[in-house]
Structure formats: structure tokens, C-alpha cells
Structure 1
Amino acid sequence: MLLSLLFPHVSWPVRCLIRDLRHCTRGLYGQKRAGCSRRGLQTTWTACSSDVTPVFTRALAFGDKIAIVDQNGEHTYRDLFSQSLRLSQEICRVLKCSGRDLKEERISFLCPNDSSYVVAQWASWMSGGIAVPLYKKHPVQELEYVIQDSQSALVIAAEEYVQKMAPSAERLGVPVLPLLKSHSNGSASHTALEEVLLTTNSSWKGRGAMIIYTSGTTGRPKGVLSTHENIQAVTTGLIDKWEWKKEDVILHVLPLHHVHGVINKLLCPLWVGATCIMLPEFSAQMVWKKLLSSQAHRISVFMAVPTIYAKLIEYYDKHFSQPQVQDFVRAFCKDNIRLMVSGSAALPVPVMEKWKNITGHMLLERYGMTEIGMALSNPLHGLRVPGDTAAYKDGVYWIKGRTSVDIIKNGGFKISALEVERHLLAHPHIADVAVIGPPDIVWGQRVSAVVQLRKGEMLSLKDLKDWARETMAPYSIPTELIVVEEIPRNQMGKVNKKDLLRRFYPT
């Protein structure tokens, strides 16, 4: 009632979103309410079931069906369960947990984009712990920050990352547990599942499940705690709205430390018994090869950020120029792929239109936040409204992402200009700096540094990049450097970044 009085012009689904956002606190948020959907814009939530269970509890029902296909081969649901169970036993041995329940101790893990990520995640949950995924491209300082801030009791590292993580873990006084590549004999049984459920008292409701760190757009990244109940609500909501089924095959090319990559692209298919093909890195050539493959595990679902679609279009224009090839691409994608989704940043309308011409697919956009997961979605069937905003009903109310000049959206990442400035001011040659985000057709926005140097000093973009790699995430390092004699500030000492954008990037 109060929301109706405060927001009389706001539609019911939007009031649903505002109401549930009220339950968000700094990282810890409450149960999502029953979803309310109408024709057009939809909320992605469904009513939470009283039966809250992690995704691994469903694995044995799918048995020998292929769950993951990666650079190491094929992995069945039974394989993943067995490997996770063994790792869970190792976790409890290292941490000496009684009753095989860590009681929500945090477990950080660093894995490549393959089945080892799933094993580490499931094993953390089987042990009664909270999973904290790390990002392989983050510098050591950022990884240490997450481990320390989350108060992790253990770091799990895949073989290739053990040497990278060992010194950091030693400095922080946290043990490292290597995750060796292995293929299960598929010996897990329902008895093993019952044992896991019993050790956690079969009560997952209210238990912490995962901590994912924000992009740090308003300061240092903050850990957002999701309970098993939260994750199940978002996952089942997406499954319902996007009509996931066990016959689906999704191609996974995104990082696994954000909601987009973890829930939308991994937990959804695993929940329904579908197959996830995981590439170690994004490659336009490899993605097109997989999308157009008529062999086993034919792709039916694809999700990406706008930058990836722009890169795929670039590759298409360069390599698929013959009319008969273009006709084949369009026909194959229309006939075999049922759903293509874009998210994490605004989708430029030219990219959307070009992609529709190439594949016959109008990309489905959705809106979410680390704090709440996926909240709004264009419909699977019916009219889809373009842009990073979603329109609903009578002409219309708009749900928008943040538009501050201090938030730069680059390739699906939200970058804090203030945080980049903090890092750059540590450079011995820089006296003052303002970071701005000029528009870019491929990346959404670029990271551009307007810099005032100390007297007598010189600095090239290459030198700045080389220096920044030690302390900054790759996507936050400036790709443009503008050196000025002085950065203009007003009487309050503030920089008008809109003026800087107009000055150096006139439209």
C-alpha cells in the first residue's frame, strides 16, 4: 500500500522490484517474494519453495547424462558429483570440521573455465561452506583482498594456479588445497547423497551459499552474500521465464565470478540436467565454430555481453562475406538456436540490428545486479524492447542502470572511475588525474585517463599500462592517455567530467 502511494505511476512488477530491493542490506539480503509477471516486461522471480536444495542434490537424478564439455573432455553429472564428494572430504580433512559441516566458513577458489570450477563450487556446498569464486585475470593484490575481506578459511586452487596462490595464502595465513585434474569412475550413489544431506541436517534454507564481489563502482568491491534460497529463487525464475529444458545445450564463454556467468549460464543448465560447453577463453573464431556445428551437443542457447556480440560481428564481416555463407549462417542459427541473450551492459541498437540480420535472432535483454541477481527480463515470446532499460506498459516507466559519469561500462564490466584514479595517483609521475569513459561501439565505453604529470616527467601509454598490470585488473587499465598541463576544477575542487568528455571527444 505504501509503495502505491509513493510511486503511483509505477507498474506492479516495478513496485515488486522496489519492494524486494528494500530487503537488500550491505551484501546480505532476504528471500525474494513471489514473482509477478504480465505481458511485456517480466520479473524473473518465482515463489520460493520451502524445499531449498543446492544444485548438486539434483545431479544423481541425471546420472550419466553429459553435464560439462570442456578442453579436458566430457563430464557426466555423476562424474561431477563423485569428484565434488572427494574434494569435500579433503576440505573437511584440511579444516578439521566436525560432522562434515563447516557451518558457513568461506572457501575461496581459483579455477579455469572448466569442470573444475563446478567441482570446487559443489564441494564447498557439500562441506557446508560458502563458495567465494576468484577471477583468474585479477592481479594478486585483488585476489588477496577478496580472500581477506571474505575471511576465507581455505583457498582451493586448480593445478595451474597453485604457484600463483601459494605465496598469497602464506602471507594471509590461509591453507591452499590443490585441485588436481581427475576423471571420476562414476561410483557415487544415492547413499552418498543422503550422507551429505544428513551431515548438513538437510536444512539449506537460510544458509549462506556464495559471495560474489561487486565491480567496485563506488569504492572497493564489496562482497554480496547469497543464500541457497536466493540462488534457487533466481535460478528457477530464469528457468521458468526462459523455458530451460534438459535437452538444451549452452555455450559458456563468460567469466565465472559474476552472476551472469555463474547463475544464468551455469547453474540454470545444471539445475535442469542440460549440457554446458565451456571454452577456456573467448575466441570469436571458436564461438562461431561451435554455434555452427552440426555435430554432437548442438548449441541451442547462447548468452554474452554486448562486446562479445560486437566481436562476433567483426569476425563475421571479415570471414563470412560470401552470400551463400551468410545465407547458411542465418538459416542454421534460426533453425537450431532457440535463445540468444545479451546482458551486463547496454546493447547498442546497431549491434542488435546487425545481429538480427546475421542470425535472425532479436537478442533478449535482461537486467540484474550482484545484490539481487536477475530481476527483469524482456519476454521470451513477444515484443522485446531494446536497450539496457526495459519498458513496461502504458508508454512508459523505465528501469535504468546507473548512469553516473564515475561508472564506466566496458565489455560487460562496471568500472569505478574513482577506483582507477586512486590507483593511478600512486604512479610517481602523475600529479593529478581524471578518468572518463568515452563511448565505444565495441566495448560500450573506453577507459580514458586525463593526466597532469609532475614537473619535468614524461609518461607514455605503454609505460602506464606496464606499470598498472601489477595492481589493476586488465579491464580497468586505461586504453587512452591524454596529458594536459592542468586538470580544470571548480571552486569546490571538483572536476566536471562531462565537460572533459565534450572537450576531448566532441560528437
Structure 2
Amino acid sequence: MSTAQANTVEAWAASNPSGLAFIEGDRRLTWAELNEKANSLANGMAAKGVVAGDIVVLRTQIRIEWPILSEALAKLDCCLLALNWRLTPTETQYVLSNSRAKVFVCDDEDPSALLPAFDGLPIKLAVSIDRPAPGFVDFADLLNASAEPARFANSRPPLILYTSGTTGLPKGVAKPPIESDPAGIEYLADVARTRRGEVGGVNLLTLPLHHGAGPSQVWNAIRLGNPTILLRRFDPERALQLIQQYRVTNWVGVPTMYKRIAALPRAVLDSYDASSIRALSVGAAPVSYELKKWIIEYFGPSVLGEGYGATEVGMISYLPPEMQEKKPGSSGLPHKHVDISIRGSEGRELPRNRSGEIWVRTPLTIHAYLNGQPLGPDTLDANGFFRVGDVGMLDDEGYLFITDRAKDMIISGGVNIYPAEIEAAILRHPDVQDAAVIGIPDDEFGEQVMAFCELKPGHTASESAILDSCRDHLASYKRPKKLSIVGELPRNTMGKLLKRDLREPFWKGKDRNI
């Protein structure tokens, strides 16, 4: 390829060279600068032996170098493995070994701590963005390479993600190429439509770049030629400042981010102008109807959409703004060419309005994890339906409702108890910002319900008062037997609660760990 394709960095560099592409703090990149730096970086990496097909690990926080790296990898026809920057050297070594990656790029404060992760592995180039370190090439040195010859990307780099490893070791997910499949093209177009991006918009990025949503936001903004504002570490008031300063039109957040904005004093909320927002999205964790109502009240009635997806299958469903109050609690209708099957414990399909495990088939459904064996029938059936691990139902109109994670279900005295229902009841208390419910060992019933609460900043409440508030909303067998108020609940970088961290002390040494 020797010419620029439409809606690419190369095309914007030619048609709008001085237009802003990315902004992080006081750092800015125009389309021309982004393209030139990506060319230099690609040539610099090629000189170090990087070739088409290599898997390149990007272990970075949200930063302006990420789109430069992404575009360089596209020009080199490399794969991009987005890695969580919080992983330990041992966890990192597992991913490097399992993926057979060849190149590693990081922005760690102490890159040398990661050197043991490379032992015995075919890493031919390790790059440090911020700190010089033995065994690492400086990112700045690679950028000093010539921007000539110019390179042109055929498409965005294939993205590889590793599952969070809530059950067993993390597994690599490389999405199958579907650009030549008519159904796949229609599916991707339908997903893109729900993101509600328009030419002339401004994107705010606060989601990590080792999750599918972060890269997707970057690439969607590039496709539209729109600028993206990068916020490395989420701060609720700073987010509002950026929305006002840059007239942000599109933002995707996780519930925790919205909760932190909602917890700001009313005077602070009223001091910012968020009227530029045209499209908000929320997902990656359960969203209470109370939180949705607050978002609608503050940001406006026609901006909030909710998406539901899974790493192994891509986006599954979407609930548009006009349905938020008509279908409270729903995750929407399935995307085009997506099929949803609700199944009982024996694997049989259940009728509408019955809760069961969710199985999904999309054009992006994987058939094996990276470098792994084909998936077995307990995960992928003969008709291509993938077991996503969530519990939910379809109503009479085909709207999907997620009720819980299958693995989070508590069985007490032979009765199935779903934590999401209990968490929703606890969140009704005016002093509670977030809640997590788990099952802990019980000699008589097998498990009993325990809750953990995080209070809103500046608020106080007793454990007994919060427990008492559940009496009107939960049957006695569902009510927590114990409740603990904690300073902060454990979460991953996408805002998902890490219930395994809460469970571990209680189940240590037990025969099973639910």
C-alpha cells in the first residue's frame, strides 16, 4: 500500500494537517505530527528487527504516546497486545510466554523490575517510554529515526486482549478478521452507529487502553477525524473541567466514574457547563437505575446509552437514550447479526421472562483462545453460541436484562441468591456510594450473605443502619448476615469490583472457593 486510505491518520495528515488529533495536559498532536511520528517510530522499530506479524505488547497508561504506537504498528502490520500496566513481573511473564510476543513497550517508573519477565522468551526489542533502563531502548531514540520512507496502514492493528483471569489463568483473545464478511461488516456498522460519533465532535478518553473500549474509542475518533482529550488518571472534577474547556461531545465511562462525579458537592456540579455532551455511554459493570436517573438529570435526557459486551464475543446489545426510562434495568436489544440464548442448568433454552445463563453468537465470537485448543462444548456449542458467564433474561420484546454473574451466585441452604439484587437494595441508602455482596462459608447453610460498603465522601452511616434499610426491599433469606464498611472497595482499572479479593480471606483453606 503506497497511498492513504480514507478516514485514516495518513488521510487526515494530508487533508487537515494542523487539526488537533490528541491532547493530554499541555501536550498536543496534530494529524500531521501524529503521522510523522508514527512513520519515524515504525522505521525505528523496523531497524531494530520488528517485522509484519510480530505481536507487540503495549503496557502503558492513558497517554499521548499510545496513538503514536498504535499507528506505527498499523504501518508495520504488527499485532497490538494491550497489557494491564498493573500486572506483576510474574503475571507479565505468563502473558508474554503464552502469547509468544516479540516486542515489549512500557511506561513503568522502574522498567528494570520487568527484566525477569523476559527470561527465556524471544523478546527482540524492549522499549521504555519514560525512564532509561538497562536492557531497554529509549522510546525517544526510536522517534529520532527518519520519517522517510513514509508508510501507509492497511487497517488498524489487530488487537489482542487478555481476560482478567477471575477464574483460572488469563487467556488471550484475538478477534477473527471479519472485514470481508458481509454479516460482519453490517455488525461492525451497527456497533459503530450506537457510539453516536459525528464529524466535528470531541472525544474524552478516561478508560484504560488495555481493555477493548479504550482502543475502540481512539480508533473511532481517528475514523471521524475528531480530536481526543486524554485523562491519564480519572478525577471527577477534572473530567468536568475538560468537558467544559474543550466542549466535549462524547464520553464513555464506567459506573464508578459517574458515581464519583455524582458525589461532588452540588455547588461544584453547578459550576461547570456540560451542555456540549451529545453522547454518553456506560458499561463494563452493573449500572443501577438510580445512577442512570442521576446521569439523565445532570447531563440531559437524550444522551445516555448503555452497551453490553464480552471480550470473547464483542459487543452484544445496546440500550439507546430514549429507552432508558421505558426499560429500566435493561441492557437493550441485540446488535444486528447477534443471537442470544437464555439457558437453564441443563443447557435447555428457556422461554421469555425466565432467568438463566446467557449464551451469545456474534460475528466476532472466538473459537479458541490465543495459542489454545478449540473451545469445548461447555463454553462454545456446536451452533457457535458462547457461554459468557452472566445470568439474565429476555423480555417479551426481546430486550436483555442482566441479573448477575453466574459465578457470583450464592447458594444458601439450597436456595440461589443473586448478589446484584442485594447490592441494588443497599445502594438505596443515601450514604452508600458502592456495595459488593459475596458468599462466605457457613457450616449450616453452606454459604451466608456478606456485604461490603463504600460510603460517599464526607458521609457517615453505621453498619446496623445500612442493614436495617434493607428490610423493606429484601426477603429475610437475602438480607446480609454481616456488613463491613470499608474505605475503598477493590476494583480493576475498568472499575469492576474484584470480588475474588473480598472472598479470598474467608475461603482460604476451604475445599471450594465459590
**Residue 70, structure 1, aligned to residue 11, structure 2:** no
Name the residue aligned to 1:395.
396
Q: Which amino acid aligns with 2:231?
A: L
> Where does structure 2 lack aligned partners over 5 or more consecutive residues?
130-137, 335-393, 411-418, 428-432, 444-483
Name the residue aligned to 2:353.
none
CA deviation after TM superposition for structure 1 residue 168, in Å: 2.0
Q: Which moved more, 1:268-277 or 1:87-96?
A: 87-96
**Residue 355, structure 1, aligned to residue 295, structure 2:** yes
Q: Which amino acid aligns with 2:281?
A: V
8 Å contact from structure 1 (residues 209, 227) kept in 2: no
CA deviation after TM superposition for structure 1 residue 383, in Å: 6.1
State how far apart, in whole Å, the 2-side matches of 1:218 and 1:248 are: 39
CA deviation after TM superposition for structure 1 residue 347, in Å: 0.9
Cα distance 1:358–1:53, how it changes in 2: closer, same or farther (>3 A)?
A: closer
1:120-140 deviation digits (Å, cap 9, x = unpaired): 222122111101011112222
Name the residue aligned to 1:345.
285
**Residue 269, structure 1, aligned to residue 221, structure 2:** yes
Cα distance 1:485–1:273, how it changes in 2: closer, same or farther (>3 A)?
A: closer
Correspondent of 1:84 among 26, 38, 48: 38
Name the residue aligned to 1:406.
407
**Residue 290, structure 1, aligned to residue 242, structure 2:** yes
Instruction: Provide TM-score, normalisation by structure 2.
Output: 0.61
8 Å contact from structure 1 (residues 159, 181) kept in 2: no
Q: Secondary structure at the match of 1:75?
A: strand
Q: Secondary structure at the match of 2:91?
A: helix
Name the residue aligned to 2:378.
none
**Residue 244, structure 1, aligned to residue 197, structure 2:** yes
1:356-383 deviation digits (Å, cap 9, x = unpaired): 2233246211122212322322236666
1:267-296 deviation digits (Å, cap 9, x = unpaired): 1111101111111111122112223x2x3x
Counting only pairs closer than 5 Å after superposition, residues 13-412 of structure 1 correspond to structure 2 as: 55-60=8-13, 61-95=15-49, 97=51, 102=52, 104-158=53-107, 160=109, 162-170=111-119, 172-174=121-123, 175-179=125-129, 192-193=150-151, 196=152, 209-226=158-175, 229=178, 236-263=189-216, 265-291=217-243, 293=244, 295=245, 297-314=246-263, 316=264, 319-320=265-266, 322=267, 332-333=273-274, 335-361=275-301, 363-379=304-320, 385-387=327-329, 389-391=331-333, 395-401=396-402, 403-407=404-408
Q: Secondary structure at the match of 1:258?
A: coil
8 Å contact from structure 1 (residues 71, 114) kept in 2: no
Name the residue aligned to 1:43.
none
Q: Secondary structure at the match of 1:83?
A: helix
Q: Which amino acid aligns with 2:226?
A: A
8 Å contact from structure 1 (residues 71, 280) kept in 2: no
Q: Choose between structure 1 and 2: higher helix proportion.
A: 1
State how far apart, in whole Å, the 1-side matches of 2:79 and 2:508 are: 50
State how far apart, in whole Å, the 1-side matches of 2:98 and 2:509 are: 37
Cα-Cα RMSD? 4.2
Cα distance 1:248–1:450, how it changes in 2: closer, same or farther (>3 A)?
A: farther
Q: Which amino acid aligns with 1:209?
A: P
1:229-269 deviation digits (Å, cap 9, x = unpaired): 56987765444344422311121111111112221x22111
State how far apart, in whole Å, the 2-side matches of 1:485 and 1:224 are: 30
CA deviation after TM superposition for structure 1 residue 474, in Å: 9.8
Q: Secondary structure at the match of 2:115?
A: helix
State how far apart, in whole Å, the 1-side matches of 2:329 and 2:159 are: 30
Name the residue aligned to 1:44.
none
8 Å contact from structure 1 (residues 217, 407) kept in 2: no
State how far apart, in whole Å, the 1-side matches of 2:399 and 2:405 are: 17
State how far apart, in whole Å, the 1-side matches of 2:288 and 2:501 are: 22
Q: Which amino acid aligns with 2:33?
A: D
CA deviation after TM superposition for structure 1 residue 444, in Å: 6.1
Q: Which amino acid aligns with 1:93?
A: A
Q: Secondary structure at the match of 2:404?
A: coil
Cα distance 1:212–1:75, how it changes in 2: closer, same or farther (>3 A)?
A: same
8 Å contact from structure 2 (residues 41, 72) kept in 1: yes
State how far apart, in whole Å, the 1-side matches of 2:286 and 2:70 are: 30
8 Å contact from structure 1 (residues 138, 474) kept in 2: no
> Where does structure 1 lack aligned partners over 5 or more consecutive residues?
1-50, 409-416, 418-435, 453-460, 488-492, 498-507
State how far apart, in whole Å, the 1-side matches of 2:507 and 2:56 are: 46
State how far apart, in whole Å, the 2-side matches of 1:358 and 1:56 are: 35
State how far apart, in whole Å, the 2-side matches of 1:80 and 1:484 are: 50
State how far apart, in whole Å, the 2-side matches of 1:476 and 1:136 are: 20
State how far apart, in whole Å, the 2-side matches of 1:474 and 1:400 are: 20
CA deviation after TM superposition for structure 1 residue 343, in Å: 0.9
CA deviation after TM superposition for structure 1 residue 405, in Å: 4.3
8 Å contact from structure 2 (residues 56, 78) kept in 1: yes
CA deviation after TM superposition for structure 1 residue 87, in Å: 1.5
CA deviation after TM superposition for structure 1 residue 153, in Å: 0.8
Counting only pairs closer than 5 Å after superposition, residues 399-438 of structure 1 correspond to structure 2 as: 399-401=400-402, 403-407=404-408
State how far apart, in whole Å, the 2-side matches of 1:394 and 1:55 are: 41
Which structure has more relative contact order (CA 8 Å, sep 6+)? It is 1
Q: Which amino acid aligns with 1:406?
A: K
Q: Secondary structure at the match of 2:501?
A: coil
